[in-house]
Structure 1
Amino acid sequence: MKGPRKMLAPMLTVLMAIGLLAGCGSNDDNNSTASGATGNDVKGEKITLRMIESLTSPKRTELIQAMLTKFESENPNIKVDFISPPFDQADNKIRTMLGSSEELDIMEVRDLNVAEFVNNGYVEPLNSYTEKWDDFATVSSVSKSVGTVADKLYFIPNGLYQRQMFYRSDWFEEKGLKPPTTWQELYETGKQLTDPAKNRFGFSFRGAGGSNGTTDAMILAYNGANVNVEDSMFTTDGATVYSTPEAKAAMELYLKIYKETSPPDSINWGFQEQVQAFTSGVTAILLQDPDVIQSLQEKMEEGTWATAPLQTGPTGKALFSAGGAGWGISSKSKHKEEAWKLIAFLSSPEVNTGFSKDFGLIPIHTSATEDEFFKTGPYKTLIDMSNKPDMFVNAKPPFEYPGTGQWGQVAMESGQALLLGQVSLEETLKKWDAFWVDQKAKVKK
C-alpha cells in the first residue's frame, strides 16, 4: 500500500482462493443485523454519519464519494459527511479526532496503525457484526488477517495491495534483455540500462517515505527459508532478520543498486516521484502495487511496459505480504449500527470488486477470481506467482506490533543516512535490529 508504509505484500489467487479463516466469535451482546437496520430507520429519523479516509487522492476520493451517494439514495434516512484530508496529513488528522473524542463514526484504519488504534481503544471490534453478515463467507483469509489483532477483526479492507515488478519492455527489447528474476540480476540489468548522459537509469529507487518496502523485501528474500513466516521480522530461531549475515549481504547490494543504477536525487523520492520517473522515461524498473496500473495505462503507450514477478534471493525465494486499509467503526460512535450498514454496503462483492477495478486494487472477495479482468493483462503476474508457492512465500507482516507505524520513518531516516555515508552499514543494521528486539520485548510485557 502506498504511503508511509507501503507495504507490503500476496498474489491474487492466494489472496482470494486460500482457505478462509475461522469465523470470528462475538464477545458482546450486540444485536446488530446483517443489514444494520435500526430503530432510526423504522422511525424515519435522519442521522448523519461522519466518515474520514486516510489514503486520499483525487480519483480515489471521487470513487468513494460516488459509492456514498449510491448508499444515501438507497438509505434516505442516513446522510454521510465524508472527510478527505490531504494525504500527508490524514493519519494525524484521524489520530487528533480520535484522541480528542471528536464526533466520528467511520474511519479508514490501516494495517500500519490498527494495533495502535486498538491499544488506545479507538476502534470497535467487528466480530459481532460479521457473524451476521452473509457476504463475510467469501472474504478471503488474507483480507481478514490484515484487519485482525489478537483474533478480533477491526476493519474490513477496501482492497489489497501486493507488490510486483513493472518494467520498460521497449528498453529491454532494445538491449535484448530479459526481466530480472533475482535481486542480483536486477542490479546487473539495471547497470546495463543506466546511461546518465541520456538521463536514463535502470531502477526507480525510493529513498524517502516507504523506502523500507525495498530494504525489507531484499532482507527477507536473502534470509529466505530462515524467516519465521508467522512473525516476519524474525528468523525461525528468534533473532531479527536484520541481525543476520544475509541481511548485510542484501544491504550491500542495496547500496550498489542506488549508487550504480538509480538517479542520485532518488534518495529523496517517495511514491509519486518514483512512479513519475518510470512513466516519464527516466527509469526502467519499478517495484509497486497494482494501484499504479491505471496511471501507467493512462500515461504510457501500450506495449512500452509490462509486469513480472518479484525478485528472489540467493536461495530462490521471495517473501511477500499483503497490505491494506479499510473501514472501521469508532468505539465512541453513537451510530454503530448505521456505520456497520455502510461498511457492509461498501464491502459487498459487487461494490468492492467494482471499486477494485476502478482504482486498481485486489478485491477482498474470493468470488472475484472468476472475473476475467483479474486473469489477464498486468494482473496476470499475480496469478503466475501464486502458482509457485514454494518460490513466492507469503509472510505475515508485523501489523500487531505497536511500533509498526513508526518503522517506516525509522528505516527511512537511518537508510538515508546510510546512503549519504553518514553512518556505516553495521551501525544501520544494529539500529534496525534493536528496534525490533524492543518491539518484541514490549509485546511480551
Structure 2
Amino acid sequence: MKISNRRSRRATTVVALGAVLALTATACGDDGSGAGGDKGAEGSGKGKIVFWDNNGGVRTEIWKEIIADFEKANPDVDVEYVGIAATEYQSKVDTALQGGGLPDVGGVGSAMIAGFAAQGALEPLDERLAGSSLDGRLNKDMVESLKAAGGGDDKLYSIPTSANNGVLYYRTDLFEKAGLEEPTTWERFFTAAEKLTDKGRNEFGYTIRGGAGSIAQALDAMYGQSGITSFWDAGGERTTLNDPKNVAALEKYAGLYKKVTPAADLNNDFTKMVAQWDSGTIGMLNHNLGSYQDHVKALGADKFRGIPQPTGPGGRRVQVSNPVDGLGLFKSGKNKEAAWKFIEFATSRAENSKFNEAAGQVPSNADAAKDAWISKAEPTKLAAQALSDGSTSIVQLPYYLPDWNTISKADNEPNFQKVLLGKMSAQAFLDAMAEQLNAAQKEWNEQNA
C-alpha cells in the first residue's frame, strides 16, 4: 500500500534527522489555487514584501540584522518585518487565511506545514530551489524532513533554516554545592529535583512548562522514561500515547509541579520559563538548543551545562523529534520573486550561519554547518554525539497530520494544566488526546491509501 511506503519514508527521515545534528487537503478556493482562490503574482522582483517572523521577540534582533544585510544587497526591495510570538503564530496565520492579509514570506516549521498546505496557503518550492544558488547546498536530511511533514504529496513547502534538539540545562554550581551527580539519567534527574528544592528559600529543583508549548515537553519526558520508541503501534493506526508505561511516566512528571517547581510554572511558556531559570536559583530546565545563548548571557558559561536528555534503563535515550524550522512562500503573495530572493539570501552561508549562531541551532546551509562557532557551542556538540553514538532513539511526532498542531496545542494544553493541578488524571488526559489522534490518523490513512 502507498501508505506503508510513505510511513517507511518518514521513519527513514527521522533517523536522517539525527545525522543532521551529528554533522554539525484541498485548498480553500474551488480552483485549488490557494487560500480563497488567490494565486498571487510573481511581481517585478522589486518593491515591498512583508515577512512574518514565527518567533518574534526571541529572534527579532537577528532577523533585523539579516533584513538590513538583504536590503543593502538588494536596494530595490524593502522588507517589512512583523514579529509574532511563537505561541500566537499559527492562530495569526489561520485568521489571515480566513480574512486575508497573509504576508509574502513567513516562518513555516515542520509542525505547521501540513495544516497550512492543506488549506492551499503555501507555494511549492521544489522548482525554485532547483533553479537557485541554494541547489545542492542545503542539508538533504532537513529538506526531506520538511517534505515528509507536508501531508503526503512529497512537495517542499518550506526552505529549512535550522534544526533543533531537546536539552537538559542544569546549574553546575548548585549541583556541586549539593554534592549531586550530573543528571544524565532519569533517576538522577528526579533525585536532584527533590534535593535542590527548598521552598522556604524560594529554591526549586526544576521548572516545568505548564503554559503554551507544554505538550511537546511533556511527551519528551514521557517517552524518555517509558522507553517506547514509536508514536504508533505496529499497524500504524493507534497511538502509543496512552500506553500504561507512558501514563505512569506522565504521572511522575506532572507530580513535580509545586512539589519541586514554582507555582508560576502553570502558565509559563518557554520565554517566561527560560527567563525564570536565568534569573533565579532553579536547578534544572528542559528546553532546546535555542536558549543556550540566553543562558550564557544571564549566567555565564561556567555556572551551567546543557546536556542531552537523560537516559533510561539500560543506558538508552529516547526523545521525541523536534521540528525543523524554515521559511515559506505564501501563495497569495503579490511579489513572489522578491520574496524568494529574501528566502534565498537568508539561507545563504553567511546569513544562515549568523542566524544559527545567534539562535544556538544547527544551520541548514551545509557550508555554514562547517563554521568554527559550532564546535564551541557545547550543547550542540553533545547533542550531535548523542545522536551519532547509537545511544538515542527518536520518536517521530506526526507533523504530517493537518490536525497535529491543533490537537497538541489548543485542544489539550488546558487539559494538561488540569493534570498539573490534580483536577484531571494522567490516564484521562492521555486517553482523550489519543482518541483525537487515532481519528486524525484514520482519516489521513484513508485519504492517502
Structure 2 length normalisation: TM-score? 0.83
2:31 aligned residue: none
Residue 211, structure 1, aligned to residue 234, structure 2 = no
Q: Please report how far the alpha carbon of residue 354 of structure 1 lies from its aligned counterpart in structure 2 after TM superposition.
A: 1.2
Partner of 2:443: 442
Please say if residues 165 and 307 of structure 1, whose CA atoms lie closer than 8 Å, have aligned partners that are also in contact: yes
Preserved CA contact (<8 Å) 1:110 1:326: yes
Cα distance, 1:122 vs. partner? 0.5
Shift of 1:63: 2.0
- Code of the residue aligned with 2:233 in structure 1: it is T
Number of aligned positions between the proteins: 408
Residues in 1 aligned to 2:162 and 2:284: alpha-carbon distance in whole angstroms: 25
Partner of 1:431: 432
Instruction: Give the partner amino acid of 2:400.
Output: E
Match of 2:192 among 182, 189, 192: 189
Change (3 A) 1:324 1:387: closer
Q: Which residue of 1 aligns with 2:19?
A: 14
What is the identity, as a one-letter code, of the residue corresponding to 2:139? S
What is the CA–CA distance in structure 1 between the aligned matches of 2:199 and 2:98, rounded to whole Å? 49
CA displacement at 1:293 relative to structure 2: 1.4
1:306 match: secondary structure: strand
Q: What does residue 412 of structure 2 align with?
A: 411
Residue in 1 that maps onto 2:335: 335
- Aligned counterparts, 1:16-415, within 5 A: 40=44, 46-57=46-57, 60-85=59-84, 88-102=87-101, 104-148=103-147, 149=150, 150=152, 151-224=154-227, 226-228=228-230, 233-238=231-236, 239-314=238-313, 316-378=316-378, 379-388=380-389, 390-406=390-406, 407-415=408-416
Paired with 2:221 and 2:86, the residues of 1 have a C-alpha distance of: 27
What are the superposed Cα offsets for residues 271-328 of structure 1, whole Å, 9 maximum, x if unpaired? 1221122112331011111221121111113411112221123352322323233211
Counterpart in the other structure of 2:38: none
Aligned residues of 1:12 and 1:383 also touching (Cα < 8 A): no
Give the drift of 1:250: 0.8
**Residue of structure 2 in register with 1:25 after alignment:** none
Q: 1:89 to 1:208 in 2, by over 3 A?
A: closer
Deviation sequence 1:94-113 (CA, Å, 0-9, x none): 33333333363212223222
| CA apart distance, 1:349 | 1.8
Distance 2:278 2:88 in 1: 26
Alpha-carbon shift at residue 344 of structure 1 (Å): 0.7
Q: CA distance change for structure 1 residues 400 and 181 in 2, over 3 Å: closer, same or farther?
A: same
Over 3 Å counting, the alpha-carbon distance change for 1:322 and 1:393 in structure 2 is: same
- Check conservation: 2:22, 2:388, Cα contact below 8 A: no
**Structure 1 residues 247 and 135: alpha-carbon distance in aligned structure 2, compared to 1, 3 A threshold:** same
Of all paired residues, the percent bearing the same amino acid is 24
- The amino acid of 1:343's aligned partner reads I
Structure 1 window deviating more from structure 2 (304-313 vs 135-144): it is 135-144
Kept after mapping to 2: 8 A contact 1:219/1:241: no
1:39 is displaced (CA, Å) by 8.7
By how many angstroms is 1:70 displaced?
2.0
Q: 1-side partners of 2:262 and 2:359: how far apart?
A: 29
- With 361-370 and 276-285 compared, the bigger mean Cα shift is at 361-370
Root mean square deviation, CA, Å = 2.6
8 Å Cα contact 2:23/2:384 also seen in 1: no
8 Å contact 1:227–1:241 — kept in the other structure? no
Q: What's the offset of the Cα at 1:146?
A: 4.1
Instruction: Give the corresponding residue for 2:30.
Output: none
Tell me the amino acid that sits aligned with residue 234 of structure 1. W
Q: Distance in 2 between matches of 1:203 and 1:97?
A: 38
Residues 249-278 of structure 1: per-residue CA shift (max 9 Å, x gap): 211221333253222332222212211221
Contact 2:97 2:121 in 1 (8 A): yes
Instruction: Read off the aligned partner of 2:184 and give its amino acid letter.
Output: T
- Aligned partner letter, 2:279: S
Match of 2:36 in 1: none
Per-residue deviation, 1:187: 0.9
CA distance in 2, matches of 1:195, 1:11: 43
Structure 1 pair 117–12 and aligned structure 2 pair: CA distance change class (3 A): closer
Q: State how far apart, in whole Å, the 1-side matches of 2:339 and 2:53 are.
A: 14
Deviation at 1:89, TM superposition (A): 4.0
Residue 34 (structure 1) aligns with:
none
CA contact (8 A) 1:183 1:313 kept: yes
Q: 1:17 Cα deviation (Å)?
A: 5.6
CA deviations on 1:56-87 (whole Å, 9 max, x unpaired) are 01x62232122222222222332222223455
> What is the alpha-carbon distance in structure 2 between the residues aligned to residue 95 and residue 190 of structure 1?
39
- Identify the range of structure 1 (416-425 vs 86-95) with the bigger mean alpha-carbon deviation: 86-95
Runs (4 or more) in structure 1 with deviation over 6 Å come to 9-13
Q: Check conservation: 2:51, 2:106, Cα contact below 8 A.
A: yes
Conserved 8 A contact 1:55-1:87: yes
5+ residue gaps, structure 2: 1-13, 25-41
Distance, in Å, in 2 between the alignment partners of 1:328 and 1:369 is 21
The one-letter code sitting in structure 2 at the alignment partner of 1:219 is M
Aligned CA distance change for structure 1 residues 103 and 167 (closer, same or farther; 3 Å): closer
Cα distance in 1 for residues equivalent to 2:419 and 2:21:
39
**Residue 21 of structure 2 contacts residue 387 of structure 2 at CA under 8 Å; is this kept in 1?**
no
Q: Distance in 2 between matches of 1:209 and 1:302?
A: 28
Q: 2: CA distance between counterparts of 1:88 and 1:253?
A: 26
Between the aligned partners of 1:397 and 1:179, the Cα distance in structure 2 is 28
- Cα deviation for residue 161 of structure 1 reads 2.1
Deviation per residue, 1:312-358 (Å, 9 max, x gap):
23352322323233211111223222221211111112210111112
